[in-house]
Amino acid sequence: MQEYSAKFQAKGIPLIHMQHDQKLPPPPAQGKLRARYSPVSAYRALAQHYGWAIQQVFDGLDASLPTADRVIILEEDIHTAPDFFSYMKATSVILDQDSSLLAVSAYNDNGHQVKDTHRILRSDFFPGLGWMMTRKLWKEELESKWPPAYWDDWLREPAQRKNRHVLRPEVSRTFHFGDKGGTSRNQFGSILSRVRLNQDAVDWTQQDLSYLHEQPFDEQYGKLLATASLATTIKDAIDRVKTSNIRVEYTSLDEFKRYAEDLDIMKDEKAGIPRTAYKGVVEVRPYDEHILFLTPVTAKLEASFPALAAMET
């Protein structure tokens, strides 16, 4: 602790250490909540600690803490990229302005098949693993109903997300190196260990990020989807994406999961949303160049991206 304190002081950054005297709350009474939350005490401990820590920051319960408008949350088993804080500083402006956003994350769950270090996308899936939220979100919505366990899955539920999106980079600005123990038991270790941590120090404060607001983003993304050729099978898509952007449609989550297995990407979903998906679209670069889009059928896609429909007609 003293070593870290000295390093922070050398940079003119105060380091404040608070100890949480953690006592697990009793499990929920009866019914669905008890069945869902009570079996795994570690998840309950984590949720209590997160809620306590966020409250300390936003309520200023420690006199040494300044009043915060936002908080960045990092677990202890995460490496950050050289431009992590530049990324957070620049995107905080968009987060403050845009009510269609829930949070900002520095992580890409499929970050092992990426290329563009300057690209940020919107997502319906909350990745966590290095993320930022506003005081407004906490005080007006989350604080009063913070869950007893599984806080991250809870945040992904429709009642909390309210159709809002998360900003996330194409190339991750965080890397999760914890591969032993932990509550998740490293269930995604084979993919997590290959996630590419950005080494290109982008000065995000000098980038024009206005395209990240929902309307301009959807217009640009719809046009990008329209330029991708439609493949009839995932095998055909994997072959053709070597030379150009390709799109292949899935008609159900089960079909999406089969495609994800073929692509060696995350296949799970929460609240019906695949990891990294934006309006049903999941994108990867199997050969680190052109993009392969897994998308809903054309009719649903056009309803979400009018620019796509306009270009196709």
Q: What is the chain's mean pLDDT, rounded?
A: 89
- Asked if residue 195 and residue 110 are part of one domain, the reply reads yes
Last residue of a domain, one of 160, 185, 206: 206
pLDDT higher than threshold 70 for residue 262: yes
More confident position, 11 or 34:
11
Mean pLDDT value across residues 168-181: 83
Structural domain span for residue 274 = 213-312
Q: Are residues 199 and 120 in the same domain?
A: yes
Q: Give the residue from 149, 152, 99 showing the smallest Cα distance to 271.
A: 152
Residue 138, both tokens = 């906490």
Query: How many independent structural domains does the chain possess?
Result: 2
228 and 158 share a domain? no
CATH (domain of 288):
3.10.180.20
- CATH number of the domain to which 30 belongs: 3.90.550.10
Could you tell me if 254 and 193 lie in one domain? no
197 confidence band (pLDDT: 50, 70, 90): very high
pLDDT digits (tens, 9 = 90+) for 29-60: 554 444 444 445 788 888 999 999 999 889 87
Strand order in the sheet with 120-123: 70-73, 131-134, 101-105, 165-169, 120-123
For the stretch 86-103, pLDDT in tens is: 999 999 999 999 999 999
Q: In terms of domains, do 115 and 145 share one?
A: yes
Neighbouring-strand partners of residue 175: 79
Instruction: List the catalytic residues.
Output: 152
Q: How many CA atoms lie within 13 A of 240 on its CB side?
A: 16
Q: Are residues 158 and 261 in the same domain?
A: no
